[in-house]
Structure 1
Amino acid sequence: MDRTAESSGESSAETFAYATSGSAGHLSGRPELTCYAPSDRGLPEVAFIDFRFPTGGWSTHAVTGLEVAASTQPAGAHHAVDYEIAARLTEREGLLVRRPGLNGTTRWAGPYAGRVLSFSAAAVERLAEAPIGKIAFAADGRDLRACRSTWHILDALACAHRDDPSPDALLIESLHLAILRSVVAARAPGRSAAPDLSASQAGRACAYIREHLDREITVSALAGIVGLSEGYFIRAFRQTTGVTPYQYIMRERVGRAEALIRSGAGSMAEVAARSGFTSASAMSRTFRKLVGRSPTGRTAGRRA
């Protein structure tokens, strides 16, 4: 963010200018950033921001792309937020969608914390497979369960960045796409609601995964191999295999790691690298999530 003494329309006091992938405006003060993660690979021009303002203030927004924002204030925290913009989905969940062309102001009283996933217009068009002017975004007051689902995906994105300095690119891409799909009211015309990969497409995708398991695998690479867009590929892969590409790859990596550990192929760090994990600790977390044990615990349990 750039500091500026320019008047923003709110007051003549010193303010801070900001620009994200999907919007620009002014802030009444500089926020504390728990996480600022602009994407430099995979999905184009997408930024995730986890922030906190220690005192009351305001922000202005001029949205050119799309922003999905959620409050992360603790339950019962004393704060009030006044949204002048027509962007609130549900006040109970504190979840907002700032659509293209939106101009407005947000004010809050007392400390305020939240998360924002910001998409450029080009990213929205690429991932939604339609010109931004023809995309129907979710209406205000939609089903509360859908709002909760979006909030939980934002939370998973925060956890991914917090737990690993270099989170798996495929996981981050998948979460970005999941959030975008959650706020798009309808898919682009001509796309099936439940697409399938052909046997040839599925075979090429799975072969690529096996051959590149020890390297970074992205949604865009997999989609390009079978000639589909990223969003369509994820839906088709899940429809065909029953799991998302990320889930499939994690299972394959766990299987390879187990085989390497059983054969005594090296240290945990070497096994993690050869299986495609960013570190031994990342491998251990994945084992616990998928099988409920550490990598060595899993092997010991099988030998017992």
Structure 2
Amino acid sequence: MKSTTSVAVVEMAQAPAFGPDGAMGGLETRLPMALGLLVEAMSLLGHDGDGVRRLLDRTMALLGDDDADEEHPAIARLAGLAPWRAQRAIVFVEQRLSTNIRAAELARDARLSRSYFSRSFKMTFGVAPNIYVLRRRVALAQEMMRTTDEPLCQVSAACGFSDQAHFSRVFRRFIGTSPRAWRRAQGCGGRTAGLDPDQVAELVEDPSGLRQGWYGRLAMEVAA
């Protein structure tokens, strides 16, 4: 049976944090609530994963409000995305590279406000969401050009670029040369600067090393 304190905190987690005027409560109201939720989440570790996640979601919602970010920007700078949210972002992007991906959609999937998500995403991945998506599109294009004979217009469409001209501009921005020139230079068996499937799988399994090791080196290579 749940203790009185536990029941109270769970009720707090489920209660709306909005005032009668529809506005989010002030930080002086949200911080004690968030602290209570975190204490309760710690007590559930190891035996109620779903409960922990619900409490952490509520905590992030309380601290991730747009107004709170504007009043206290340090909150958004203190931590990046939780590992499970980073994993969701990776999978979300990988599954939709052929489509238009908006930061607002990523934020909604992570159940965070757009501004808080964008700042936390950059803390975790080292780049803004739109830059990360472009890099993944370029990496996929490199893999397709290296391993298939698809014409560039088909590569462009498969990687989610609006047209071949857009593809060429973005590719040159990150790689320093045109897609056609890069493809010629690779010949057979050239090394792509993008993530291969094994590396993507590694990120999905363990997002904690996003800014370290091979990904950090790759990010610097692509940005150079």
1:207 partner letter: V
What residue is the counterpart of 2:117 in the other structure?
Answer: 233
Secondary structure of the residue that 1:228 maps to in structure 2?
coil
**Offset, 1:212:** 0.2
CA-to-aligned-CA distance 1:192-230 (integer Å, 9 cap, x gap): 334310110000011000000000101111001111111
What 5-or-longer segments of structure 1 have no aligned partner?
1-126, 136-185
Q: Give runs of aligned pairs for residues 103-122 of structure 1, distance below 5 A.
A: none
Aligned to 2:147: 263
1:193–1:225 CA distance, 2 compared to 1 (3 A): same
Deviations 1:240-281 (A, max 9, x none): 011111111111101111111123342211110100100011
Task: Classify 1:128/1:204 alpha carbon distance in 2 versus 1 (closer, same or farther; 3 Å).
Answer: closer
Shift of 1:128: 7.9
The reply on whether 1:208 has 2:145 as its aligned counterpart is no
Partner in structure 2 of residue 129 of structure 1: 66
- Residue 243 of structure 1 aligns to a residue whose secondary structure is coil
**AA partner of residue 80 (structure 2):** D
Structure with more strand by fraction:
1
CA contact (8 A) 2:76 2:119 kept: no
**1:206 maps to amino acid:** I
Tell me how far apart the structure 2 counterparts of residues 188 and 128 of structure 1 sit (CA, whole Å): 10
Q: Does 1:187 align with 2:70?
A: yes
Identity of aligned residues (%): 28
Letter in 2 for 1:188: E
* Equivalent residue pairs, number: 124
- Listed one character per residue, the Cα deviations across residues 117-140 of structure 1 (whole Å, up to 9, x for unaligned) are xxxxxxxxxx9822xxxx9xxxxx
2:129 maps to a residue whose letter is P
Does 2:104 match 1:220?
Answer: yes
TM-score (norm 2): 0.51
The answer as to 2:218 corresponding to 1:281 is no
Normalising by structure 1, report the TM-score.
0.38
Which residue is equivalent to 1:251?
135
In structure 1, how many angstroms separate the alpha carbons of the residues matched to 2:128 and 2:119? Answer: 8
Give the Cα separation in 1 of the matches to 2:101 and 2:181.
Answer: 27
Counterpart residue type for residue 70 of structure 2: R
CA contact (8 A) 1:262 1:299 kept: yes
Matches within 5 A, 1:1-304: 129-130=66-67, 187-189=70-72, 191-303=75-187
Give the distance between the partners of 1:217 and 1:280, measured in 2 at CA. 18
Does the 8 A contact of 1:213 with 1:275 survive in 2? yes
Match of 2:3 in 1: none
Taking the aligned partners of 2:176 and 2:65, their CA distance within structure 1 comes to 36
Q: Distance in 2 between matches of 1:265 and 1:188?
A: 53
Cα contact 1:265–1:271 (8 A) shared by 2: no
What is aligned with 2:201?
none
Q: Are the counterparts in 1 of residues 102 and 130 from structure 2 also a CA contact under 8 Å?
A: no
Indicate the structure whose relative CO is greater, using CA pairs within 8 Å and at least 6 residues apart.
2
* Whole-angstrom CA distance in 2 between matches of 1:250 and 1:194: 26
Counterpart Cα distance in 1 of 2:98 and 2:163: 12
Output the CA distance in 1 between the equivalents of 2:78 and 2:124: 9
Task: Provide structure 2 residue ranges, at least 5 long, that are not aligned to the other structure.
Answer: 1-63, 191-224
